[in-house]
Structure 1
Amino acid sequence: MTVQPTHELIAAQKAALLTQPHLSMQDIEVDVSTLTPLTPQIISRQATINIGTIGHVAHGKSTLVRAISGVNTVRHYKERFRNITIKLGYANSKLYKCPTCPPPDCFKSFGSEKEDTPKCTSPGCESTLLLIRHVSFVDCPGHDVLMATMLAGAAVMDSALLLVAGNQPCPQPQTSEHLAAVEIMKLQHIIIVQNKIDLIVREPGAAQRQYDDIKKFINGSVAEEAPIIPISAQMKYNVDVVVDYICRIPIPLRDFTSAPIMIVIRSFDVNKPGEDAETLKGGVAGGTILKGVMKIGDEVEIRPGIIRKDPKTGAVSWTQIMSKVTQMKADENHLMYAVPGGLIGVGLKVDPFLTRADRLVGQIIGHPGKMPDVVLEIEATYYLLRRLLGVKSDGGDKAKQKVSKLKVDEMLMINIGSTSLGGKVLTISSDRVRIQFLNPVCSNEGEKIALSRKIDRNFRLIGWGEIKKGYASKSKKSSTV
Structure 2
Amino acid sequence: MTLVIGTAGHVDHGKTTLVRALTGVDTDRLQEEKRRGISIDLGFAPFRLPSGRAAAIVDVPGHERFVHNMAAGVHGMDLVLLVVAADEGVMPQTVEHLDILQLLGVRHGLVVLTKVDLVDDPAWLDLVEDDVRASLQGTFLAQAPVVRVAPPTGHGLDRLLAALEEAAARVPPRDAGGLARLPIDRVFTVTGFGTVVTGTLVSGTLRAGDRVEVQPGGLPARIRHLQVHGREVSEAAAGQRVAANLAGVDHTLLRRGQVLVHPGTLAATQWLAARVEWLPRAPWPLRHQERVRVHAGAAEVLGRVRLLEPARPWQPGESGWALIRLEEPLVAAPGDRFVLRTYSPPRTAGGGLVADVGRPWTRRAAPGRWLAAFLADEPATALTARLERAGRPRAAADLAREVGQPLSRVEAALAGAAAAGRTVPVGNGFWVAASVAERLAREVRAVLERYHRERPLEPGMSRDALVHVLQAGLPVPGAGGGGTGRVPEPEAGAALQALLEAWVARGILAVRDDRFHLPGWEPAAGAADRQRLQRIEAVYRQGGLAPPASAEEAATAAGMAPAEVLALIGLLERQGRLVRVDTGLWFTPEAIAEAWRRLRALEREHGPFTVAQARDALGVTRKWALPLLEFFDRRRWTRREGDLRRVVGGPEGPAAAGVWGHGDSNQTGTGAR
- TM (norm. structure 2) is 0.50
SS at 2:194's partner residue?
coil
1:180 aligns with 2:99: yes
Structure holding more strand per residue = 1
Q: Take 1:461 and 1:350, find their aligned partners in 2: how far apart are those partners? A: 38
Native 8 Å contact 2:306 2:324 kept in 1 = yes
Q: Take 1:93 and 1:291, find their aligned partners in 2: how far apart are those partners? A: 21
Q: Take 1:379 and 1:302, find their aligned partners in 2: how far apart are those partners? A: 23
Deviations 1:107-128 (A, max 9, x none): xxxxxxxxxxxxxxxxxxxxxx
Residue 339 of structure 1, aligned match among 205, 220, 237: 237
Task: Tell me the residue number matched to 2:114.
Answer: 195
| C-alpha deviation, 1:294, in angstroms | 1.1
Q: Equivalent residues in 2 for 1:221-236 (5 A)?
A: 221-236=139-154
Q: Take 1:258 and 1:216, find their aligned partners in 2: how far apart are those partners? A: 38
Q: Take 1:350 and 1:369, find their aligned partners in 2: how far apart are those partners? A: 18
Judging changes above 3 Å, is the alpha-carbon distance between structure 1 residues 472 and 363 closer, same or farther for their aligned structure 2 residues?
Answer: farther
Q: Take 2:204 and 2:277, find their aligned partners in 1: how far apart are those partners? A: 32
Judging changes above 3 Å, is the alpha-carbon distance between structure 1 residues 353 and 339 closer, same or farther for their aligned structure 2 residues?
Answer: closer
Q: Take 1:327 and 1:419, find their aligned partners in 2: how far apart are those partners? A: 24
1:329 aligns with 2:241: no
Deviations 1:253-290 (A, max 9, x none): 2333344222212111224xxxxxxx4x3211101112
SS at 2:213's partner residue?
strand
Judging changes above 3 Å, is the alpha-carbon distance between structure 1 residues 425 and 186 closer, same or farther for their aligned structure 2 residues?
Answer: closer
Residue 468 of structure 1, aligned match among 355, 358, 362: 355
| C-alpha deviation, 1:53, in angstroms | 0.4
Residue 288 of structure 1, aligned match among 188, 191, 200: 200
Q: Equivalent residues in 2 for 1:304-383 (5 A)?
A: 304-305=216-217, 320-354=218-252, 359-370=254-265, 372-383=266-277
SS at 1:459's partner residue?
coil
| C-alpha deviation, 1:427, in angstroms | 4.3
Residue 57 of structure 2, aligned match among 137, 161, 171: 137
Structure holding more helix per residue = 2
Native 8 Å contact 2:205 2:235 kept in 1 = yes
Q: Take 1:207 and 1:373, find their aligned partners in 2: how far apart are those partners? A: 50
1:92 aligns with 2:12: no
Native 8 Å contact 2:105 2:337 kept in 1 = no
Q: Take 1:350 and 1:74, find their aligned partners in 2: how far apart are those partners? A: 31
| C-alpha deviation, 1:352, in angstroms | 4.0
Judging changes above 3 Å, is the alpha-carbon distance between structure 1 residues 342 and 236 closer, same or farther for their aligned structure 2 residues?
Answer: farther
Q: Take 2:214 and 2:165, find their aligned partners in 1: how far apart are those partners? A: 34
Task: Tell me the residue number matched to 2:213.
Answer: 301
**Which is bigger in relative contact order (C-alpha 8 A, separation at least 6)?**
1
Q: Equivalent residues in 2 for 1:46-445 (5 A)?
A: 48-97=2-51, 131=52, 133-168=53-88, 170-200=89-119, 202-248=120-166, 249-250=168-169, 251-271=171-191, 279=192, 281-305=193-217, 320-354=218-252, 359-370=254-265, 372-388=266-282, 403-430=283-310, 431-445=320-334
Q: Take 1:253 and 1:347, find their aligned partners in 2: how far apart are those partners? A: 26
Amino acid in the other structure paired with 2:27: T
Amino acid in the other structure paired with 1:241: R
Percent identity reads 29
Q: Take 1:331 and 1:258, find their aligned partners in 2: how far apart are those partners? A: 22
Q: Take 1:419 and 1:152, find their aligned partners in 2: how far apart are those partners? A: 6
Q: Take 1:257 and 1:448, find their aligned partners in 2: how far apart are those partners? A: 20
Q: Take 1:148 and 1:323, find their aligned partners in 2: how far apart are those partners? A: 28
Native 8 Å contact 1:373 1:444 kept in 2 = no
Native 8 Å contact 1:375 1:470 kept in 2 = yes
Amino acid in the other structure paired with 1:419: A
Native 8 Å contact 1:231 1:237 kept in 2 = yes
Q: Take 2:5 and 2:257, find their aligned partners in 1: how far apart are those partners? A: 19
Deviations 1:311-368 (A, max 9, x none): xxxxxxxxx111000111123311111111121211000444336xxx4211111211
SS at 2:50's partner residue?
strand
Native 8 Å contact 2:87 2:115 kept in 1 = yes
1:449 aligns with 2:338: yes
Which of structure 1's runs of 4+ aligned residues deviate more than 6 A? none
Q: Equivalent residues in 2 for 1:10-49 (5 A)?
A: 37=1, 48-49=2-3
Task: Tell me the residue number matched to 1:311.
Answer: none
Native 8 Å contact 1:412 1:424 kept in 2 = yes
Q: Take 1:471 and 1:254, find their aligned partners in 2: how far apart are those partners? A: 26
Judging changes above 3 Å, is the alpha-carbon distance between structure 1 residues 50 and 459 closer, same or farther for their aligned structure 2 residues?
Answer: same
Q: Take 2:323 and 2:181, find their aligned partners in 1: how far apart are those partners? A: 26
| C-alpha deviation, 1:406, in angstroms | 1.9
SS at 1:408's partner residue?
coil
Larger Rg: 2
Task: Tell me the residue number matched to 2:605.
Answer: none
Amino acid in the other structure paired with 1:199: L
Q: Take 1:297 and 1:417, find their aligned partners in 2: how far apart are those partners? A: 25
Over the residues paired in the alignment, what is the CA RMSD in angstroms? 1.8
Native 8 Å contact 2:3 2:54 kept in 1 = yes
Q: Which range moved further: 55-64 or 329-338?
A: 329-338
| C-alpha deviation, 1:204, in angstroms | 4.5
SS at 1:284's partner residue?
strand
Judging changes above 3 Å, is the alpha-carbon distance between structure 1 residues 472 and 268 closer, same or farther for their aligned structure 2 residues?
Answer: farther
Q: Take 1:166 and 1:344, find their aligned partners in 2: how far apart are those partners? A: 34
Q: Take 2:241 and 2:308, find their aligned partners in 1: how far apart are those partners? A: 38
Number of aligned residue pairs: 349
- TM (norm. structure 1) is 0.70
Amino acid in the other structure paired with 1:449: F
Judging changes above 3 Å, is the alpha-carbon distance between structure 1 residues 332 and 416 closer, same or farther for their aligned structure 2 residues?
Answer: closer
Q: Take 1:426 and 1:218, find their aligned partners in 2: how far apart are those partners? A: 32
Q: Take 1:67 and 1:211, find their aligned partners in 2: how far apart are those partners? A: 22
Runs of 5+ consecutive residues of structure 2 not aligned to the other structure: 311-319, 361-673
Runs of 5+ consecutive residues of structure 1 not aligned to the other structure: 1-36, 38-47, 98-130, 272-278, 306-319, 389-402, 474-481
Deviations 1:49-75 (A, max 9, x none): 111100000001011111111111001
Amino acid in the other structure paired with 2:61: P
Amino acid in the other structure paired with 1:134: A
Q: Take 2:179 and 2:341, find their aligned partners in 1: how far apart are those partners? A: 32
